[in-house]
Amino acid sequence: MSLSRFIQRALSEWMRGKGPQSEIVISSRVRIARNLAGMPFPMLATSSQSADVVRRVEEVLRQGDVHPALKGAEMIRMDDLSELEKRVLVEKHLISPQLAEESRYGAVVLSENEAVSIMINEEDHLRIQCLFPGFQPQEAWKLADELDDWFENRLSYAFNEKKGYLTSCPTNVGTGIRASVMVHLPALAMIQQLNRLFPAITQVGLAVRGIYGEGSEALGNLYQVSNQVTLGQREEEIIDKLQGVVRQMIQHEQNARTRLKETSLTQLEDRVHRSFGILSTARVISSKEAMERLSDLRLGIDMGLLTGISANVMNELMVMTQPGFLQQYAHMRLDADERDIRRAVLIRERLSAEEG
């Protein structure tokens, strides 16, 4: 398969789309956790009970009045996927590592443009996720809320008048909402301000995590900022707080970029062009180094230090250079050394295509 066809078939809309503030905000996501009334939570359910949850969701999707965002959607059972295929879905942020690794009776419903993914029998019976490019948490929330209402009109949710929506994890009880924004903060990292910024964010009830959420490593100066509290706050309050904090982060990053341009322009240009040179010519490159160099590349593009290259290159390559994608593109299993070689080849091909 040619690289262009692979990209067209492999990438979700959030990787290719250009949303508001996309020079700093990569994507916005809202996820809603729900459970069905009268059914044990997934961790306690039997195989037949878990299969019944999948069946009930599938029946709802077959009805004629399907929500417009789910027209053409496909349900995929985890048992029907190879380990490699599951890994690719994780790398595209369409399913969680937990659903891929632990949920034997799990499934996912994917919309045609993959802006909507609904995990079934992960930690909860339903996890409705909407993923938008750029800084669009309000838009992601609006669609997730519509889908939640649509399902609630057809399925009976586990709900308590005092506690709200009931979930497997106590931290999700209440609204069951997790809103997150993925941000690219290379300038703040360069001037060593992140250690001052992140504690201030946690003090207002938000969490800062790596690119795959809780427990994941931050690579390429990419971070997920999300709410921690779901009980005692309205959904709109959660979204508004997240938006307000992220706006401040955007301003801090913009100020840091201006400072670098005013005080260290030559050093910044050198760093950007060195990374571009390495990415364009390297024959072997690790995942960690690739992400660091791609972060420099994206910063150079956004600041006008590199021209003729699409800013979406980083969005694409940060996913395409992950282990699952590399092996899917190669059509074979690859060990770590082979992946480092293939990663370098893929990056060179992609950058060459941009120059062409």
- Cβ–Cβ under 8 Å, residues 272 and 296: yes
Please indicate if the annotation marks 209 as binding a ligand: yes
Percent of the chain with pLDDT strictly greater than 70: 94
Per-residue confidence band for 213, with pLDDT thresholds at 50, 70 and 90: low
Tell whether 274 is in a known binding site. no
- For residue 212, say whether it is annotated as part of any ligand binding site: yes
- For residue 30, say whether it is annotated as part of any ligand binding site: yes
User: Is position 111 annotated in a ligand binding site?
Assistant: no
What's the average model confidence in pLDDT over 321-327? 91
Nearest residue to 154 (alpha-carbon basis) of 72, 56, 30, 54 = 56
Q: How many CA atoms lie within 13 A of 36 on its CB side?
A: 20
The reply to whether 350 sits in an annotated binding site is no
Q: What is the pLDDT of residue 270?
A: 97
28 labeled part of a ligand binding site: yes
Consult the annotation and say whether 342 binds a ligand: no
Residue 271 clears pLDDT 60, i.e. is over it: yes
210 is in an annotated binding site: yes
Interval 131-139 mean pLDDT: 95
Helical axes 323-330 vs 312-320, angle rounded to 10°: 80
Domain limits, the chain: 6-257, 264-355
Q: Given a cut of 70, is residue 6 above it in pLDDT?
A: no
Extract the tokens encoding 308: 């003729």
Cα gap 285→339, rounded to integer Å: 9
Q: Is there a binding annotation on residue 93?
A: yes
Placement of tokens 């030559």 in the chain: 266
pLDDT at 309 (0 to 100): 86
pLDDT range class, residue 217, cuts 50, 70, 90: low
Burial label, 224 (beta-carbon count in 10 A; 0-12, 13-18, 19+)? buried
pLDDT at residue 93 is higher than 60: yes
Q: What is the pLDDT of residue 1?
A: 46
Look at 315 and 178; give whichever has higher pLDDT. Answer: 178
Tell whether 29 is in a known binding site: yes
Q: What is the mean pLDDT of residues 40-63?
A: 93
User: Where does the pLDDT of residue 3 fall: very low under 50, low under 70, confident under 90, or very high at 90 and above?
Assistant: low
> Stretch 283-312: mean pLDDT, rounded?
92
226 is in an annotated binding site: no
Query: Do the annotations mark residue 214 as ligand-binding?
Result: yes
Nearest to 120 by CA among 27, 66, 45: 45
Q: In this model, does residue 123 exceed pLDDT 80?
A: yes
- Looking at residue 311, its pLDDT comes to 81
The pLDDT > 90 percentage for the chain reads 65
CATH H superfamily, domain 6-257: Glutamine synthetase/guanido kinase, catalytic domain (3.30.590.10)
Measured distance CA(93)–CA(233) in Å, rounded: 26
Please check if 182 is assigned to a binding site. Answer: yes
How many beta carbons lie within 10 A of that of residue 66, not counting itself?
14
Residue 356 has pLDDT above 80, yes or no: no
Neighbouring C-beta atoms of residue 200, cutoff 10 Å:
11
Q: Is 174 annotated as a binding residue?
A: no
* Number of Cβ atoms within 10 Å of the Cβ of 3: 15
Residue 186 tokens read as 């290379």
What is the tens place of the pLDDT at every residue in 181-202? 999 999 999 999 998 999 999 8
